[in-house]
Amino acid sequence: MSSAELERVGARIVSCCRCPRLVAWRAAAASRAPVRFAGQDYWARPVPGFGDPRARIFVLGLATAAHGGNRTGRAFTGNPSAGLLMRALHRAGLADRPSSEHAGDGLRLHRTWLASAVRCPPPADRPTPLERDNCLPYLSAEVAALEDLRVIVCLGGFAWRAALRWAGVRPQPKFAHGGAHRLDGGLTLLGSYHPSPRNVHTGLLTEPMLDDVFGRARALAGLA
Ligand code: SF4
């Protein structure tokens, strides 16, 4: 059953040390917490996916945030990007609350799974191509375990290209907000601008735009 397999995959992810640079960086981030997180025990290990084992929608981010998931142990938790994403998932009926604060906060996702293409935090949010490729088998393993999956929402160009590389699509269709690509196996990739503070502050991404993406994801997933 997928829940047991997801737990096995999660255990493999948590113990991974394949990328020496990122192993060092996740520990370094934990040792210099910003004042607002001072005194907190950081997770400082790779972050497995989180959500509903019956997920039809996989939300794929770029990489674990140094003071978000690397602190809490849960993807898209406790930083501004997570806040915007969680509010959108809640409005779309895919989360039972509009925030994700820490691993024990009781958050439940509905038919949705959250993970990043790279499970450790990279310096400047820029994983190398080798680090991306090292981590793609974990995307593969989680997708295989999520038996009901229909859609992967790729947050930003990095996640879009990582998903296409994982799927072996060549040439790769260009990333576009709202752009979609149907894979041979039946899954649909759906592109969205990443909900980063920068994209929001510059007006590139608005909450209504994110709502449109998740409305479309719901329709593609047969949840509309
Ligand atoms: S980024 Fe992925 S492959 Fe690299 S050490 Fe972290 S979990 Fe392992």
Mean pLDDT of the chain: 96
Predicted confidence (pLDDT) per residue in 118-177, tens digit: 999 999 999 999 999 999 999 999 999 999 999 999 999 999 999 999 999 999 999 999
In the reported structure, the alpha carbon of residue 207 is separated from the centroid of ligand 1 by a whole-number distance in angstroms of 31
In the reported structure, the alpha carbon of residue 122 is separated from the centroid of ligand 1 by a whole-number distance in angstroms of 10
* Neighbour-count burial of 55, counting CB atoms closer than 10 A to its CB (0-12 exposed, 13-18 middle, 19+ buried): buried
- Tokens (6 digits) for 38: 């001072």
- Per-residue confidence (pLDDT) for residue 87, from 0 to 100: 96
Ligand 1 contacts (CB < 6 A) are 13, 16-19, 22-23, 46, 118-120, 131, 134-135
Ligand 1 atom with the shortest distance to the CA of 127: 1
Residue nearest to atom 3 of ligand 1 (CA): 135
* Neighbour-count burial of 89, counting CB atoms closer than 10 A to its CB (0-12 exposed, 13-18 middle, 19+ buried): buried
- Per-residue confidence (pLDDT) for residue 134, from 0 to 100: 98
Predicted confidence (pLDDT) per residue in 69-124, tens digit: 999 999 999 888 999 999 999 999 999 999 999 999 999 999 999 999 999 999 99
- Give me the torsion for CA of 216, 217, 219, 222, rounded to 10°: 180
User: Given a cut of 80, is residue 203 above it in pLDDT?
Assistant: yes
CATH code at 90? 3.40.470.10
- Per-residue confidence (pLDDT) for residue 37, from 0 to 100: 92
User: Given a cut of 70, is residue 1 above it in pLDDT?
Assistant: no
In the reported structure, the alpha carbon of residue 114 is separated from the centroid of ligand 1 by a whole-number distance in angstroms of 16
Strands of the 57-63 sheet, one edge to the other: 50-51, 112-118, 57-63, 151-155, 188-192, 180-182
How many domains, in total, are found in the chain?
Answer: 1
- Per-residue confidence (pLDDT) for residue 220, from 0 to 100: 97
Average pLDDT over residues 196-221: 96
- Per-residue confidence (pLDDT) for residue 2, from 0 to 100: 78
Average pLDDT over residues 38-44: 95
- Per-residue confidence (pLDDT) for residue 78, from 0 to 100: 83
- Tokens (6 digits) for 143: 């997708």
| Residue 21 belongs to domain spanning | 2-220
Q: Which residues lie below 8 Å from residue 58, measured CB to CB, with a gap of 6+? A: 49, 112, 113, 115, 142, 143, 146, 149, 151, 152, 153
